[in-house]
């Protein structure tokens, strides 16, 4: 009964979305305030209806109602409660429901919090947002009904794929989707602005907080996915350049570019045409990601069940929305005037460089991801494009980006002084040189270039600190003035420096763990011991164990360092009851120096196991960096100046850099 | 600096970046792309020894033999032809006889494939699409491996 209620709510949401697509847009066209205002209650009720549908499905999962096909296929009565809940979005149908729920959430948020938006813009934004929801609701109801019933319900369900039964992965999709789908708002704003044909600095001010919110969640969502892959897949790696990973990474790159170009547009009214285009492209890449993940056209280690009909439908959505928006763009772009000009060495110039490199790198990732598809379609050859491709193309593009990053915020708008910025960064550069020396001393072997990579990350981190020190006049002013400036420094500045600092930290982690990872693969019998990463690892033997819904063989390793006991690691091999699938659970000892990472393979001869041990230096910096970026985004979002309802402030009031 | 010069800088920088990126992409595609073959493909058109390829198919029943240490050998088959594979390392969880695999490595002069990575997907019902497609193309029935489909009432 509740299920039918949910299904009904979903159909009602479709009708509301159709209404919300047509009526407010018509109202904006004929300038009828009453027609435009219906968008707000429509957006809120659409969210409400989708919440009902979502809760109905969740109820079916929690109560293990196996008469619902989706539950029977993806859940099991003995599964722990948290995974019954996360099982709702652990499958194609349920995750699409989450997708439209988040679409509606952003729409309703604009309806409720966007009080300062001009009536026509708001009506158009909500209409475009509703049209996206309409397309996806149609998709769900026609190809992926989560509420389909089974005529003869099974006694128990098939169970959730065991590798998805994990706390980090349970909450990874909601974060990821909030980011992914959140860019729809930037898209809706862009299309609404094109429909109206009016684009100014205020537009960027309205769009930026939404983009920032989506970006934050996408950042942490990708990081959670990477962390999960690291400890759950048992390969010791944290990023595989897999098509599904790329699918979320491309919108991140474009979205990061969008955040920066919207800043230029807001402050200087420049890059208007470009920013609009970027807003369209960012969400198009999100749609492209949905297509890649759900159509099965590309081989991936973690995509959903394959169904060509769904792929074609999503491709249709992609073509209609991206194509439509780009056509509208082509029609209107010639009427838009270019804004303020600036010298190449200036804040704007540095942000243009940022955009150029980010968008180009997103394009190389796109080529690497889609090239196998194109080649197979044209020549029939089947190929795979692996990490070497991305390392060769993406890496060199990041180099100038990271080098320029500390300079950007130290340059003034319009015309900057590169020399003055360089002088300010002298301490950061010196610190980076020290880091090169320290890295050479700390890691004996490895590529000669790696210490420079680590130093580059350190330079970005010190650069962020330098920017902060400059702004609060640390070292040049009296203590009370420094303190006052530190307190008064806008939160958006703190957000920027934290985000930049986080990137630097991440680079340090990436380079260190890539260049200096130690790996040992061998067969160990009880009593054997090996040395890795400064630890001694002694295998004590393996014993069978039993969890709530799996059996396992737990291996025991005593870890010592210089004779002193450190910890005991217990990697295991599990066999789940439903579905009967084996998984590898890694044993990880995290320390400041790096992670000791152990997994066991098959039992070779009775009692002896294949063992894979890694030492991953500084690997935690990668996720810590992402967490700092997330926090930076949050702090920036809480800035009064960025708040959606904040009064309009003169855009010329802060001709900054170093004052 | 004039208006024109300022715009020139931007356009020049953009073109330069794109050119460098294009060159990088072309070189990378030439060097790092790995072709996918099935045992029958290799029987029809041999791959030069030492070329890096991906070999896909099913793990032949009864072919898995453990050697010294973590060395294991098995045969990859597309039910028409098969190729012996050697691998040293830890096999993925889902590696099993009769299941789909993709091995990456090089083929030797004796026709034995030396893999440095072996992939099997994290899904009971999974078969790498390339494998499934080429098996289907060769008329092999894929019984029991389809994902249960949700049917609307």
Domain parsing of chain A, residue ranges: 1-165, 168-404, 518-620
pLDDT in tens, A35-80: 999 999 999 999 999 999 999 999 999 999 999 999 998 888 888 8
A582 touches chain B (CB under 8 A): yes
Burial class (CB in 10 A: 0-12, 13-18, 19+), A653: exposed
Please check the confidence at residue A304 and state whether its pLDDT lies above 80.
no
For residue B129, the model assigns a pLDDT of: 55
Q: How far apart are CA A43 and CA A267, in angstroms?
A: 31
Q: How far apart are CA A102 and CA A176, in angstroms?
A: 11
Tokens standing for B90? 């830890």
pLDDT in tens, A232-285: 877 778 898 888 889 999 999 999 999 999 999 988 888 888 999 999 999 999
Q: Taking CB atoms and an 8 Å limit, are A579 and B124 in contact across chains?
A: yes
Q: How far apart are CA A638 and CA A620, in angstroms?
A: 27
Please check the confidence at residue A299 and state whether its pLDDT lies above 60.
no
Same structural domain, B131 and B108: yes
Once rounded to an integer, what is the mean pLDDT over residues A455-483?
A: 90
For residue B146, the model assigns a pLDDT of: 32
For residue A96, the model assigns a pLDDT of: 93
Any idea what the CATH number is for the domain that residue B68 is in? 2.40.50.140
Burial class (CB in 10 A: 0-12, 13-18, 19+), A391: middle
A341 touches chain B (CB under 8 A): yes
For residue A344, the model assigns a pLDDT of: 83
CB atoms within 10 A of CB A417: 16
Q: How far apart are CA A299 and CA A369, in angstroms?
A: 10
Please check the confidence at residue B126 and state whether its pLDDT lies above 60.
no
Task: For residue A382, give the nearest of B36, B94, B147 by CB distance.
Answer: B36
Q: What percent of chain B has pLDDT over 70?
A: 78
Q: How far apart are CA A13 and CA A50, in angstroms?
A: 6
The answer to whether position B153 is within a domain reads no
Q: What percent of chain A has pLDDT over 70?
A: 94
How large is the C-alpha radius of gyration of chain A?
26
**B52 contacts in chain A (CB < 8 Å):** none
Q: How far apart are CA A85 and CA A65, in angstroms?
A: 13
Q: Which residue has the higher pLDDT, A8 or B96?
A: A8
pLDDT band at A579 (very low <50, low <70, confident <90, very high): confident
pLDDT band at B122 (very low <50, low <70, confident <90, very high): very low
**B134 contacts in chain A (CB < 8 Å):** 382
pLDDT in tens, A394-411: 999 999 999 999 998 999
Please check the confidence at residue A533 and state whether its pLDDT lies above 60.
yes
**How many residues in chain B?**
153
Question: CB-hemisphere CA count at 13 Å for A526?
Answer: 9
Same structural domain, B39 and B110: yes
Same structural domain, B52 and B8: no
Please check the confidence at residue A91 and state whether its pLDDT lies above 60.
yes
A86 touches chain B (CB under 8 A): no
* Closest C-alpha to A464, from A628, A257, A591: A628
Same structural domain, B102 and B53: yes
Q: Taking CB atoms and an 8 Å limit, are B89 and A612 in contact across chains?
A: yes
Task: For residue A388, give the nearest of B32, B36, B147 by CB distance.
Answer: B32
For residue A297, the model assigns a pLDDT of: 65
For residue B142, the model assigns a pLDDT of: 44
Same structural domain, B66 and B117: yes
User: Across all residues in chain A, what is the average pLDDT?
Assistant: 89
Same structural domain, B108 and B75: yes
Query: How many contacts (CB atoms, under 8 Å) link A and B?
Result: 138
Tokens standing for A607? 């009692």
Please check the confidence at residue A367 and state whether its pLDDT lies above 90.
yes
For residue A190, the model assigns a pLDDT of: 95
Q: For chain B, how many structural domains are there in total?
A: 2
**B20 contacts in chain A (CB < 8 Å):** 396
For residue A210, the model assigns a pLDDT of: 93
Same structural domain, B77 and B29: no
**B12 contacts in chain A (CB < 8 Å):** none
Once rounded to an integer, what is the mean pLDDT over residues B102-116?
A: 90
pLDDT in tens, A140-154: 999 889 999 998 888
Please check the confidence at residue A639 and state whether its pLDDT lies above 90.
no
Task: For residue B122, give the nearest of A301, A349, A382 by CB distance.
Answer: A301
For residue A640, the model assigns a pLDDT of: 66
CB atoms within 10 A of CB A401: 18
For residue A156, the model assigns a pLDDT of: 86
List the single best residue of A295, A369, A384, A521 to mutate versus B (max B Cβ within 10 A): A384
The answer to whether position B102 is within a domain reads yes
Q: What is the pTM of this model?
A: 0.90
Which fold is adopted by the domain A1-165?
Answer: 1.20.120
pLDDT in tens, B22-68: 999 998 888 888 888 888 888 888 888 888 898 888 888 888 888 87
Do the bridges between strand B82-88 and strand B113-119 make them parallel or antiparallel, or are there none, so unpaired? parallel
Please check the confidence at residue A649 and state whether its pLDDT lies above 60.
no
Q: Taking CB atoms and an 8 Å limit, are A521 and B90 in contact across chains?
A: yes
Same structural domain, B69 and B14: no
Once rounded to an integer, what is the mean pLDDT over residues A470-476?
A: 84
Q: How far apart are CA A112 and CA A125, in angstroms?
A: 13
Question: Which residue carries 């919090």 as its tokens?
Answer: A113
Same structural domain, B2 and B42: no
CA distance A609 to chain B (A): 9
Same structural domain, B15 and B58: no
Do the bridges between strand A535-546 and strand A529-532 make them parallel or antiparallel, or are there none, so unpaired? antiparallel
Same structural domain, B39 and B50: yes
The answer to whether position B145 is within a domain reads no
Distances (CA, A) of B98 to A96, A335, A579, B5, B82: 33, 63, 18, 66, 13
A599 touches chain B (CB under 8 A): yes
CB atoms within 10 A of CB A557: 26
Q: How far apart are CA A507 and CA A625, in angstroms?
A: 8
Tokens standing for A214? 């989506």
Residue B122 domain boundaries: 35-137
User: Across all residues in chain B, what is the average pLDDT?
Assistant: 77
Q: How far apart are CA B20 and CA B40, in angstroms?
A: 40
Once rounded to an integer, what is the mean pLDDT over residues A547-556?
A: 90
For residue A276, the model assigns a pLDDT of: 93
**A304 contacts in chain B (CB < 8 Å):** none
CA distance A622 to chain B (A): 25
Same structural domain, B26 and B45: no
What part of A 450-509 touches B (C-beta under 8 Å)? none
Q: Taking CB atoms and an 8 Å limit, are B122 and A306 in contact across chains?
A: no
For residue A275, the model assigns a pLDDT of: 93
The answer to whether position B78 is within a domain reads yes
Question: Which residue carries 């000791």 as its tokens?
Answer: A596
How large is the C-alpha radius of gyration of chain B?
22
The answer to whether position B150 is within a domain reads no
pLDDT band at B145 (very low <50, low <70, confident <90, very high): very low
pLDDT band at A439 (very low <50, low <70, confident <90, very high): confident
pLDDT in tens, A179-235: 999 999 999 999 999 998 888 888 999 999 999 999 999 999 999 999 988 988 777
The answer to whether position B50 is within a domain reads yes
């Amino acid at each position: 009964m509740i299920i039918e209620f949910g299904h009904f709510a979903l159909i009602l949401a479709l009708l509301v979305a159709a209404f919300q697509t047509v009526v407010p847009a018509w109202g904006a066209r004929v300038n009828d305030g009453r027609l435009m205002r219906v968008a707000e209650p429509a957006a809120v009720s659409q969210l409400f209806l989708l919440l009902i549908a979502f809760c109905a499905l969740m109820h079916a999962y929690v109560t293990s109602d196996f008469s619902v096909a989706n539950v029977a296929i993806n859940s099991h009565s003995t599964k722990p409660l948290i995974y019954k809940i996360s099982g709702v979005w652990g499958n194609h149908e349920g995750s699409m429901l989450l997708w439209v729920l988040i679409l509606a959430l952003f729409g309703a948020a604009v309806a409720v919090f966007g009080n300062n938006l001009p009536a026509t813009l708001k009506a158009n934004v909500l209409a475009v947002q509703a049209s996206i929801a309409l397309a996806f609701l149609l998709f769900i109801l026609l190809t992926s009904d989560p509420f389909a019933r089974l005529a003869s319900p099974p006694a128990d369900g098939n169970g959730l794929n065991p590798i998805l039964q994990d706390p980090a992965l349970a909450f990874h999709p909601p974060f990821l989707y909030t980011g992914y789908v959140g860019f729809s708002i930037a898209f809706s704003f862009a299309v609404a602005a094109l429909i109206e044909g009016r684009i100014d600095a205020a537009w960027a001010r309205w769009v930026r907080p939404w983009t920032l919110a989506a970006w934050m969640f996408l950042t942490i969502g990708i990081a959670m996915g990477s962390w999960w892959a690291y400890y759950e897949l048992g390969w010791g790696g944290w990023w595989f350049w897999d098509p599904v990973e790329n699918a979320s990474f491309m919108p991140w790159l474009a979205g990061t570019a969008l955040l920066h170009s919207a800043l230029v547009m807001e402050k200087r009214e420049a890059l208007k045409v470009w920013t609009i285009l970027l807003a369209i492209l960012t969400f198009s890449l999100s749609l492209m990601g949905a297509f890649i993940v759900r159509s099965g056209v590309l081989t991936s280690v973690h995509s959903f069940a394959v169904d060509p009909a769904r792929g074609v439908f999503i491709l249709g959505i992609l073509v209609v929305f991206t194509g439509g928006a780009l056509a509208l763009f082509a029609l209107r772009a010639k009427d838009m005037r270019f804004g303020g000009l600036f010298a190449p060495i200036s804040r704007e110039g540095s942000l243009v460089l940022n955009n150029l490199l980010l968008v180009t790198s997103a394009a190389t990732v796109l080529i690497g991801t889609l090239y196998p598809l194109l080649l197979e379609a044209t020549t029939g050859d089947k190929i795979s494009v692996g990490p070497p491709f991305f390392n060769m193309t993406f890496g060199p593009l990041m180099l100038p980006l990271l080098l320029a990053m500390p300079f950007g915020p130290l340059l003034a708008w319009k015309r900057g002084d590169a020399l003055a910025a360089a002088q300010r960064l002298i301490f950061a550069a010196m610190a980076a040189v020290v880091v090169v020396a320290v890295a050479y001393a700390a890691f004996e072997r490895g590529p000669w270039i790696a210490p420079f990579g680590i130093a580059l990350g350190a330079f970005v981190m010190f650069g962020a600190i330098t920017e902060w020190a400059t702004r609060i006049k640390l070292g040049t002013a009296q203590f009370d003035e420094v303190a006052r400036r530190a307190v008064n420094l806008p939160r958006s500045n703190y957000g920027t420096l934290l985000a930049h600092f986080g990137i630097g930290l991440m680079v340090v982690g990436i380079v260190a763990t890539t260049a200096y990872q130690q790996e040992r693969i061998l067969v160990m019998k009880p009593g054997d011991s090996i040395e890795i990463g400064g630890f001694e690892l002694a295998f004590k033997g393996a014993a069978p164990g039993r969890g709530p819904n799996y059996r396992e063989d737990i291996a025991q390793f005593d870890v010592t360092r210089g004779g002193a006991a450190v910890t005991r690691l217990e990697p295991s091999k599990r066999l789940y009851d439903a579905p009967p699938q084996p998984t590898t659970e890694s044993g990880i000892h995290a320390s400041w120096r790096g992670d000791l990472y152990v997994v066991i393979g098959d039992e070779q001869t009775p009692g002896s196991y294949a063992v894979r041990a890694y030492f991953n230096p500084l690997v935690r910096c990668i996720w810590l960096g992402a967490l700092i970026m997330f926090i930076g985004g949050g702090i920036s979002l809480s800035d009064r100046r960025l708040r959606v309802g904040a009064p309009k402030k003169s855009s010329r009031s802060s001709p900054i850099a170093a004052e | 600096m004039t208006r024109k010069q300022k715009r020139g800088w931007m356009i020049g920088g953009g073109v330069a970046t794109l050119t460098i990126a294009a060159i990088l992409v072309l070189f990378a595609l030439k060097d790092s792309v790995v072709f996918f073959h099935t045992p029958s493909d290799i029987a029809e058109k041999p791959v030069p020894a030492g070329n890096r390829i991906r070999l896909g198919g099913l793990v032949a029943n009864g072919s898995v033999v453990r050697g010294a240490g973590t060395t294991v050998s098995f045969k990859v088959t597309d039910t028409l032809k098969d190729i012996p594979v050697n691998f040293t390392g830890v096999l993925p969880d889902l590696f099993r006889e009769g299941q789909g695999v993709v091995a990456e490595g090089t083929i030797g002069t004796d026709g034995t494939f030396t893999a440095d990575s072996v992939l099997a997907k994290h899904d009971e019902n999974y078969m790498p699409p390339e494998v499934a497609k080429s098996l289907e193309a060769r008329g092999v029935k894929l019984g029991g491996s389809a994902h249960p489909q949700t049917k609307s009432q």
